Amino acid sequence: MNYYSLNKQASNSNFKNAVIKGIAPDKGLYFPENIKPLSKSFFESIETLSNTEIAFEALKQFVVPEIPEAVLKRIIEETLAFEFPVVELNKNISTLELFHGPTMAFKDVGARFMARCLGYFNKDNTNKVTVLVATSGDTGGAVANGFLGVKGVNVVILYPSGKVSDIQEKQLTTLGQNITALEVDGVFDDCQDMVKRAFLDKDLTSKMQLTSANSINVARWLPQLLYFMFTYKNLKSKYNDIVFSVPSGNFGNVCAGMMAQQLGLPIKHFIAANNQNNVVTEYLKTENYHPKPSVQTISNAMDVGNPSNFIRIKEIYKNDFNTLKNNLSSFSYTDKETKAAMLEIYNNYNYVTDPHGAVGYLGCKDYLKENPKVHCVFLETAHPTKFLDIVEEVIKQPQSLPKQIKAVINKEKVSIKINSYNQLKNYLITANS
Ligand SMILES: *Cc1c(COP(=O)(O)O)cnc(C)c1O
């Protein structure tokens, strides 16, 4: 597969180069050149296939031949080494649990897949690659865990000091080895801006190979399309019109769902469920796209003021506002509404959600008001105990910690504090010399 830059000022790239570079030389996001839908029979008989078989069929056009088929099979098996259960709350609403991986957030799949691809590409290379990544909460842990010990790759994570949950912080600051956590005096957007600046900085790029592990990287973004296929496999015999409500921040996950739709998966509609960071909700109302500084909420992984993948969504629907609107709705909720939803889900269904999942649930409820016949699946993007304080405060029930969380909670945090771009730059130059 060739990938082109959405800024249209760079030459096309193969998968390998797109993964290693992360972003095109003209700063555009890479996008696959021609997407070939999978056969009708694939979807008709999807329930006879294992998750790894589905993944191989769905992903191979994007990565083969740069990754040989046999290697892709191994990477998929290692990546998908946990479950993706769908839990039905009632006849209109289900939740897809995406928190059964090692860091208990959906980003594990993308991070594990990307780490293995990069590890494969870098296996004979003596030059190290530095993965530079900004996190609003969960990316850092998933990337750190996915890349831990991968040969030839150093990982540098920037996170906003005091603005990620305790468990999220532990997950990204306690691993050691090839992982370094930089604690930024600022908000997520400051971290993201520093990362973007580093990629443009010739003093750095002339000395080292920098790449991103945010969802702008195609190897992190594309495997997320599998969630939607697995859910379809699970629910197709029971429900005809399946709609997904995706708690969205950088819009990588919902955009991956749209790629599954491009591959032929019969998805009726998408809902981007947002907190008060509502650029896209406003855009769909007004057709005016106004990025703004992010505001802090209890669903912190979605505190994004300028969603990086929205440009890919526009591309999927050929920049046509009406087509986009026919496929995507967006709603935004306050923290108060989110907490009320967590309590409602607990009281009505005896089910515990994290704040992100609860925002997704609210998206389902709003969409169902106008479309009462569909079955809406909200993505539960993180395990509730990653947001222990809020969950226990809202449902007033102590939660027991899963083994993945217990494993990090008492480890000692190690981070390097920075408060300016120059400090990041100095760190990178020193670490690479
Ligand atoms: C990253 C994240 C999101 C947002 O996903 P995007 O792909 O950036 O839209 C939602 N929920 C959780 C728990 C996350 O970690």
Query: Domains in the chain, start-ordered, CATH in brackets?
Result: 83-106+221-401 (3.40.50.1100)
Q: Picking from 16-30, 123-137, 382-396, which range would have the lowest pLDDT averaged per residue?
A: 123-137
For residue 377, what pLDDT band results from cuts at 50, 70 and 90? Answer: very high
Using the predicted structure, report yes or no on whether residue 137 has a pLDDT greater than 80.
no
Using the predicted structure, report yes or no on whether residue 126 has a pLDDT greater than 90.
no
Report, as an integer, the average pLDDT of 264-286: 97
Average pLDDT over all residues of the chain: 95
Distance 369 CA to ligand 1 centre (A): 25
Pocket flag, ligand 1, residue 146 (CB < 6 Å)? no
**Site to substitute for ligand 1 among 95, 106, 294, most atoms within 8 A of C-beta:** 106
Atom of ligand 1 nearest to the CA of 247: 10
pLDDT tens sequence across 210-243: 998 888 899 999 999 999 999 999 999 999 999 9
Pocket flag, ligand 1, residue 381 (CB < 6 Å)? yes
What are the CB-based long-range contacts (under 8 Å, 24+) for 349-353? Answer: 349/89, 349/90, 351/87, 351/89, 351/95, 352/384, 352/391, 352/395, 352/397, 352/399, 353/95, 353/380, 353/384
Pocket flag, ligand 1, residue 174 (CB < 6 Å)? no
Pocket flag, ligand 1, residue 384 (CB < 6 Å)? no
Report, as an integer, the average pLDDT of 128-141: 89
**Site to substitute for ligand 1 among 253, 280, 383, most atoms within 8 A of C-beta:** 253
Decide if 218 contacts 30 (C-beta within 8 A): yes
Q: How many helices (H) and strands (E) does the chain have?
A: 20, 13
For residue 294, what pLDDT band results from cuts at 50, 70 and 90? Answer: confident
pLDDT of residue 78: 95
Report, as an integer, the average pLDDT of 81-100: 98
Using the predicted structure, report yes or no on whether residue 122 has a pLDDT greater than 90.
no
Pocket flag, ligand 1, residue 251 (CB < 6 Å)? yes
For residue 120, what pLDDT band results from cuts at 50, 70 and 90? Answer: very high
Decide if 79 contacts 269 (C-beta within 8 A): no
The greatest distance separating any two alpha carbons of the chain, rounded to the nearest whole angstrom, comes to 61
310: CB partners within 8 A, 6+ apart: 251, 255, 279, 280, 289
Pocket flag, ligand 1, residue 245 (CB < 6 Å)? no
pLDDT of residue 151: 85
Instruction: Indicate which residue's Cα is closest to atom 15 of ligand 1.
Output: 138
**Site to substitute for ligand 1 among 217, 221, 248, most atoms within 8 A of C-beta:** 248
Instruction: Indicate which residue's Cα is closest to atom 2 of ligand 1.
Output: 301
Pocket flag, ligand 1, residue 248 (CB < 6 Å)? yes
pLDDT of residue 196: 86
Pocket flag, ligand 1, residue 138 (CB < 6 Å)? yes
Pocket flag, ligand 1, residue 108 (CB < 6 Å)? no
Pocket flag, ligand 1, residue 171 (CB < 6 Å)? no
For residue 171, what pLDDT band results from cuts at 50, 70 and 90? Answer: very high
pLDDT of residue 347: 98
Strand pairing category for 209-212 and 242-247: unpaired
Q: Determine the Cα–Cα distance for residues 277 and 275; give it in Å rounded to an integer.
A: 5
Distance 244 CA to ligand 1 centre (A): 14
Share of the chain above pLDDT 90, in %: 86
Decide if 263 contacts 54 (C-beta within 8 A): no
Report, as an integer, the average pLDDT of 90-105: 96
Q: Determine the Cα–Cα distance for residues 414 and 2; give it in Å rounded to an integer.
A: 40
